[in-house]
Structure 1
Amino acid sequence: MGPSETGNGERRAWHRLTVAEQNALTTPGQQRIWQSGEFLAMQGSPPSSMFVIIRGWVKITATNYRGDNAPLAARGPGEIVGELAPISGLPRGATIQAMDEVCAWVITAERLLAVLSRNPRIAMELLRSLAFRLQQSDRLRLESGGTEFPQRLAALLLELALQYDPDWAAASEVVLHQTQEDLASFARVSRSTLIRGLDELKRIGVVKTARHRVTIIRPDILRDLAAGRPAP
């Protein structure tokens, strides 16, 4: 019943749940499909449901009081998203948008709260994931505030790699499903500055780029750059 495109990611709450616990959340339940660009939920909307991503990727963004829209995260198969609003009962604090075709379980707030009241272990696993994501968010803010852009970009890409694949092994490739605009927003630079930084990383064989994605192919060199050491 669970998402099938990933392994049992230890840091993804859904994969830490037993089959019985997954069924408790999704039975009765509904699967829906969204096309690229469609919204699963909007910032400020009622806290009516949460989502378990089965297939595809979503982008989570938020708009501040000045009207600036910024990316917060991208989540893929095996991730639970939108759970904070139903738990808090407050309007949604972020927008969830499909980056490609997305299939997800839609779990109503009523169902979620009823299950959590009877299953404290499920509540604990959601709390563990929230704590991990808070750490990720803090690290992204820290790395995006450095002074030297090449070092800052390398560190930012490493932190995003852990966001996309929480169980990422540092020796393997990882694909970031991000537009250049989103990466520039994360890095707090213009798109042209970001492109120059990515071009330099491509030149030394650290990353490769395609439409809406950056693939880290030499994480060892990227880690050296993030630490302020020159590339070999």
Structure 2
Amino acid sequence: MEHADGAGENPKMGPLEVGNGERRAWHRLTDAEKAALTACGYVRTWQPGEILAMQGSPPSSMFVIQQGWVKITATNYRGDNAPLAARGPAEIVGELSPISGLPRTATIQAIDEVRALVIPRDRLRAVLRQKPRISEELLRTAAIRLQQSDRLRLESGGPDFPQRLAAVLLELALQYDPDWEAASEVVLYETQEDLASFARVSRSTLIRGMDELKKLGVVQTARHRVTIIRPDILRDLAAGRPAH
């Protein structure tokens, strides 16, 4: 397994895979700000399942996802491991610990093959002093994600399971595609166990709920993947309205 803080060979940031919306942190930076971060980092690749950063480890670097997807999870005092989010191309992850100087509070793991710009902590802090607007954008990113987390936690507490599941899927869709709005499909790279954890139900209950959504033509499922194909119906279900 590769470790996130090893030496890299490619200092250049390649083309990002998708999206240029303002909710993706990298795209909110100016060309000069991107160049400054790129110049002080290096590019690394991780294979599916490999760890970019481990919960509790030193805050040694920040990552800019260039290609692929990562899953962010955390383990509580009881040893329960829970999914927190998934992040993809043009997203910045692991940025808070290098700024705070505290050990990492979550694990970042590759879902598929991931390529990322790795920016060591000391170099990052130097760039932030030179270009303080980057700090503003990192703070904005943290605020957006806190709002997403609050919404997901709120929706996962609803009493009606079909409605709750629909709302949780909608909130996850906005994590995967921050600019997702209308009728376009969106793919969630989540296991059944992770979805059950998000929805706060057993795996068997989650499977029954997903089967109902499949019968309605709302989602398609594959191994570690859920595709939302009828977001309009999903929104009706999340709002407590009958599917039409």
Q: Does TM, normalized by the shorter one, top 0.5?
A: yes
Q: Distance in 2 between matches of 1:187 and 1:2?
A: 36
1:108 counterpart = 2:120: yes
Tell me, in whole angstroms, the C-alpha distance in 1 between the residues paired with 2:15 and 2:25.
Answer: 12
What is the one-letter code of the residue matched to 1:130?
A: A
1: CA distance between counterparts of 2:204 and 2:61? 38
Amino acid at match of 1:158: L
Q: Deviations over 1:166-206 (max 9, x none)?
A: 00022211111111111111111111111110110000101
**Misfit runs of 4+, over 6 Å:** none
Identity %: 81
> Could you say which residue in structure 2 is the equivalent of 1:198?
210
Amino acid at match of 1:217: I
Within 2, Cα distance between the matches of 1:132 and 1:2? 26
Partner of 1:214: 226
Q: CA deviation at 1:106?
A: 0.6
Shift of 1:28: 3.2
CA contact (8 A) 1:3 1:78 kept: no
User: Secondary structure of 1:65's match?
Assistant: coil
Q: Which amino acid aligns with 1:5?
A: E
Residues 1:141 and 2:153 aligned together:
yes
Count of aligned pairs between the two proteins: 232
For residues 82-231 of structure 1, the aligned pairs below 5 Å read: 82-231=94-243
Matched, 1:42 2:38: no
Aligned equivalents of 2:139 and 2:227: distance in 1?
30
Q: Does the CA contact (< 8 Å) of 2:233 and 2:243 recur in 1?
A: yes
Distance in 2 of aligned mates of 1:4 and 1:90? 29
SS at match of 2:103: coil
Distance 1:2 1:87 in 2: 25
Structure-2 change in CA distance of 1:43 and 1:69 (3 Å): same
Q: How does 1:22-61 map to 2 (within 5 A)?
A: 22-61=34-73
Distance in 1 (alpha carbons) for counterparts of 2:146 and 2:113: 27
**What secondary structure does 1:156 align onto?**
helix
Cα distance in 2 between the residues matched to 1:44 and 1:171:
40
Partner AA of 1:165 in structure 2: D
Cα offset, 1:211, TM superposition = 1.3
Do the aligned partners of 1:2 and 1:78 also contact (CA within 8 Å) in 2? no
Q: CA deviation at 1:2?
A: 5.4
Contact 2:17–2:67 under 8 Å retained in 1: yes
* CA shift digits 1:10-69 (9 cap, x unpaired): 101101112211110121321111111110000000000010001110000000111110
* Contact 2:40–2:124 (Cα < 8 Å) also in 1: no
- For structure 2, list consecutive stretches of 5 or more residues without a partner in the other structure: 1-12
State the 1:144 CA deviation: 0.5
The alignment status of 1:62 with 2:90, answered yes or no, reads no
Gaps of 5+ in 1: none
Amino acid aligned to 2:197: S
Secondary structure (helix, strand or coil) at the match of 1:215 reads: strand
For the residue of structure 2 that corresponds to 1:32, the secondary structure is strand
